[in-house]
Amino acid sequence: MRPLRESAVIVTGASSGIGEAVVLRLLAAGAKVALFARREDRLLAVARRADPAGARTVVVAGDLANEDDRQRLINETLARFGRVDALVNNAGFGQRGPIEQVPLAAIRRNFETNVFGLLGLTQAVIPLLRAQGGGRIVNVGSVAGRIARPMSSTYDATKHALEAFTDGLRGELKPFGIDVILVRPGFILTEFINAADQASAQVIENPGPYAPFAQSFQGGARKLKSIAGKPDDVARTIERALSSTSPKTHYAVPGHARVFLFMKWILPTRVLDRMVRLRR
Ligand SMILES: NC(=O)c1ccc[n+]([C@@H]2O[C@H](COP(=O)([O-])OP(=O)(O)OC[C@H]3O[C@@H](n4cnc5c(N)ncnc54)[C@H](OP(=O)(O)O)[C@@H]3O)[C@@H](O)[C@H]2O)c1
C-alpha cells in the first residue's frame, strides 16, 4: 500500500457516522477520497467541509445494493483519480425484530446491502488492486459479527457472514499483495439507531407477543449509550489499518468492544446467553 498522501480510497457509507469521520481523517492525511452513499446532499457537505475546492474528492450518490451504481462509483473514481488503492466497506444498516416477525423481504434487503452489495463492490475493485500490485480492503464488521442477540439476529447474521467472507478473502488475496482487514466497532453514537428504527418500523410498531421484550431491548440500548464510543474512534483505527506497514488482521474499538469479544471467547454460551437475554 502506498502512503496515504499518494493513495486514492473509496469509502462507502460516507454521508454520516463512521464513514464521514473516515473521510475527514483520510483527507487530513492527504489522501484522495471517493465518497459513496445514497444522500447526495450529505456527501457533498462532508466533501466540501474538508476539501472546499473539490481537488481531492469525488462524490458518487448511489445505492450499494444496485450493480449499476457500484459500477458508476468505480468508473467515476478511475476517471477522477486514475487509480484505486484501497476500499473501505463501511456502508450498512440494521434490521431489527424477532425472527418470527421480520418479513423475509426485509431480511433479504439487509443482506443485499450489508453482504451482497459489499461483495459486488469488492469483486469489482479486486482486479484494479491486483493490476496495481497491491492495496487494502477494510471491512467494517461489528462485535455483532461474533455475538448475535435476540431481536437483532438479522443484522447480526449479516455481520457474521462478513466475518467469514473477510477471513476467506484474506487468504485468497494475500498472494497478490492485497491486505484484507476487519474492523469490529462496539456501540458507537451515530445515525445507526435512527436508520435501524426506520428500517424496522413495521415490526417495532406491531410487536405482537414480543411486546414486553421490545421494551427490554430499548432499555438495553439506553444502558449501552453510557459506554458508547465516537465515530472518530473507529475512523482513527481505520486510518491505522490503511497506513500501518504491517496492519493487524482484526481490530476492535473502543475498549468495550474488546471486552465483549473476550467474554465471547471465555464464557460458556449459556452464561453469555443470560447476559444478552431479554427480560419481561
Ligand atoms: N454505530 C454502531 O454502533 C456500529 C457498531 C458496529 C458496527 N457498525 C457498522 O458501522 C458501519 C457504519 O455505520 P454508522 O454507525 O456510521 O451508521 P450511520 O451513521 O447510519 O451510517 C451508515 C452509512 O451507510 C450508508 N448506507 C446505508 N445503506 C446504504 C445503501 N443501501 N447504499 C449506500 N449507502 C448506504 C448511509 O448513507 P445513506 O443513508 O445516505 O445511503 C450512511 O452513510 C455500518 O456497517 C454498521 O453496521 C456500527
Average model confidence (pLDDT) across the chain: 95
**Residue 113 Cβ contacting ligand 1 at under 6 Å:** yes
Identify the band that residue 76 occupies on the pLDDT scale cut at 50, 70 and 90.
very high
Identify the band that residue 106 occupies on the pLDDT scale cut at 50, 70 and 90.
very high
**Residue 259 Cβ contacting ligand 1 at under 6 Å:** no
Tell me how far apart the alpha carbons of residues 252 and 207 are, in angstroms, rounded to a whole number: 33
**Residue 65 Cβ contacting ligand 1 at under 6 Å:** yes
How many residues are present in the chain?
280
The answer, yes or no, to whether residue 206 has pLDDT greater than 90, is no
Q: What is the number of other CB atoms lying within 10 angstroms of the CB of residue 108?
A: 13
Average pLDDT of 46-75?
Answer: 97
Whether residue 254 has a cis bond before it, omega within 30° of 0 = yes
pLDDT value at residue 165:
98
Write out pLDDT tens, residues 4-52.
Answer: 999 999 999 999 999 999 999 999 999 999 999 999 999 999 999 999 9
The verdict on pTM exceeding 0.85 is yes
- The β-bridge partners of 237 are none
**Residue 89 Cβ contacting ligand 1 at under 6 Å:** no
The grid cell for 92 is 450498512
Most informative mutation of 18, 41, 184, 250 for ligand 1 (most atoms within 8 A of CB)? 18
Give me ligand 1 centre to Cα 193, in Å.
Answer: 10
More confident residue, 197 or 94: 94
Domain ranges within the chain, ordered by starting residue: 4-276
From 36, 81, 93, 155, the catalytic residue: 155
Quote the distance between the C-alpha of residue 94 and its chain's center: 11
pLDDT value at residue 275:
87
155 flagged as catalytic = yes
Write out pLDDT tens, residues 215-224.
Answer: 777 777 777 8
Ligand 1: nearest atom to the Cα of 188: 3
- Cα dihedral 29, 32, 38, 42 in deg (nearest 10): 50
Nearest to 188 by CA among 150, 146, 151, 234: 234
Q: Which residues contact 28 (CB under 8 A, 6 or more apart)?
A: 50
Average pLDDT of 146-164?
Answer: 96
The gap between the terminal CA atoms of the chain, to the nearest Å, is 51
pLDDT value at residue 92:
98
CATH architecture of 4-276: 3-Layer(aba) Sandwich (3.40)
Q: Which residues contact 280 (CB under 8 A, 6 or more apart)?
A: 212, 213, 216
pLDDT value at residue 99:
95
